[in-house]
Structure 1
Amino acid sequence: MRNYKVFTNLEKEEQWLSDLTKQGIRLEKKTWLGYKFRRDQPEAATIKMDYRTFKRASDFEDYRALFEDSGWEHISGTKNSGFQYFRKADTDGSKEIFSDVDSKAIRYKRLSDLWALLACVYAIVMFSLIRSESIDPGAIFNPKLLYYTPGLWELEGEAFWRSFLFETPFAVFRGLMWLFFPVVVIATLYCAFKLKNQYNRMKEGDLRI
């Protein structure tokens, strides 16, 4: 059972996952764009998350052990995945996995840096494709550039419509491919900005994010 969802508010994500657990839908694994669940018995459990990567496997194991000693079961995440998910496995454990606001807020800073890095990577790829003329940005303002049939726009009558209709699906595909990179760059920059804004608000003491 899979669900594809993207959050920029970690508290809302935690609440969503906790509510699903109470409905008997238990998180098995977090992927980049979604979640893998399995059916289980309904459980009044609390799900919390962190974002952190580790250079050494031993550091990751120490990190997991630290939380498990406080009553939190690590349910998803690897040394390099960044996203770490915990379930309240001990009724005597703390209801929070962070001891202070700074530790809780820094998750947003790490995620903001990640999205900003992805935006830079996609921007570099996009400009490289433009420079190599694999992408023609002028097609945004002149869609005729998406059609490669020689002399297409000089043709008339049946010859024009036959060639035009034949190539239009390919032109639409090219247009969508060329739009992919600017759309992704804008989307990742938006996520980075939103996460950084939430980090700043939490640092300033506004917990209503």
Structure 2
Amino acid sequence: MARKNKVKKVIKQFSDFSKEEQWLQSMLDEGWILKSYDSEDVDDCQYVFEPVKSENQKNIIYKIDFRDLNKKGEFEEYRSIFEDAGWTLLSKNSWYSKHIFYTTSTNPQRDIFSDQESYRERERRRMSSSLINIIISILMFAVLIVLYIIYDRSAFLGVGIMTLFFSIKCMIDYYRHRKVYKSFLTREVE
């Protein structure tokens, strides 16, 4: 039983929240419960798992929301609303945009959203965040290229190229979430 004291850290990136939820459930099925995560909404996420200690923990259901909460009071109200509905928030603070919740409800259909519009809004918020990152990184790229031309310093060019790659990564992320967003629109039509 040496496994009881181990912690498992996994770095992974998802562009689909439902696939991420399914992966978290599969980790739970393998005997690992999510204890915390560190997430920058455009970088890889590091998940920290501990071994499941009781049968009750195997009933956990994970769900994810994406929302920017700029004020501490907003974050506390957000947490309180979900706690009143039986969900526990794993986000460490209001700076996180991706919020992972869990519940020990035995209802397998249990969800944090009551309608398809809420899912679409989550994807819309994620797409908006990606667009903002794209615009900022393209502007930074342009400024860095101008600085490279003016001062002929290769550091500006190097950072500019890294910024360009970041903007491409954000564009890919945007289109992936747009695809998920459109799938929610298609479900509504059916």
Q: Please say whether Structure 1 and Structure 2 have the same fold, judged by a TM-score greater than 0.5.
A: yes
Q: Is the 8 A contact 2:145 2:156 kept in 1?
A: no
Alpha-carbon distance in structure 1 between the residues aligned to 2:91 and 2:119:
18
Deviation at 1:77?
Answer: 4.6
- 2:46 aligns with 35
After superposing the two structures, state which structure 1 stretch, 6-15 or 40-49, moved more.
Answer: 40-49
Unaligned runs of 5+ in 2: 1-7
Using the TM superposition, give the Cα deviation of residue 102 of structure 1 relative to its aligned residue in structure 2, in angstroms: 0.4
Amino acid at match of 1:83: K
What CA deviation, in whole Å up to 9, does each residue of 1:35-91 have, x standing for no partner?
Answer: 231322162321100011223323322222222222211122522211111112233
Q: Name the CA distance, whole Å, in 2 between partners of 1:66 and 1:56.
A: 16
User: Paired residue for 1:123?
Assistant: 138
- Give the TM-score taking structure 1 as reference length: 0.71
Q: SS state of the match for residue 201, structure 1?
A: helix
Deviations 1:90-114 (A, max 9, x none): 3369611100000122111111111
Structure 2 CA distance for aligned equivalents of residues 206 and 135 of structure 1: 53
Closer, same or farther: CA 81–128 of 1 in aligned 2, 3 Å? same
| Structure 1 vs Structure 2 CA RMSD | 2.9
The residue number in structure 1 matching 2:25 is 18
Could you say what secondary structure the match of 1:133 adopts?
A: helix
Matched length: 174
Highest CA radius of gyration, 1 or 2?
A: 1
TM-score norm. by structure 2 comes to 0.77
**1:188 pairs with 2:167:** no
Unaligned residue ranges in structure 1 (runs of 5+) = 137-147, 149-170
Letter in 2 for 1:51: F
Paired with 2:150 and 2:11, the residues of 1 have a C-alpha distance of 30
Q: CA deviation at 1:14?
A: 0.5
SS where residue 192 of structure 1 aligns?
helix
The 5-angstrom pairing of residues 49-68 of structure 1 reads 49-68=64-83
User: What is the distance in 1 between the residues matched to 2:89 and 2:71?
Assistant: 18
Q: Percent identity?
A: 21
Matched-pair contact (CA < 8 Å) for 1:129–1:135: no
Question: Which range is displaced more, 85-94 or 115-124?
Answer: 85-94
- Aligned-partner residue type, residue 20 of structure 1: M
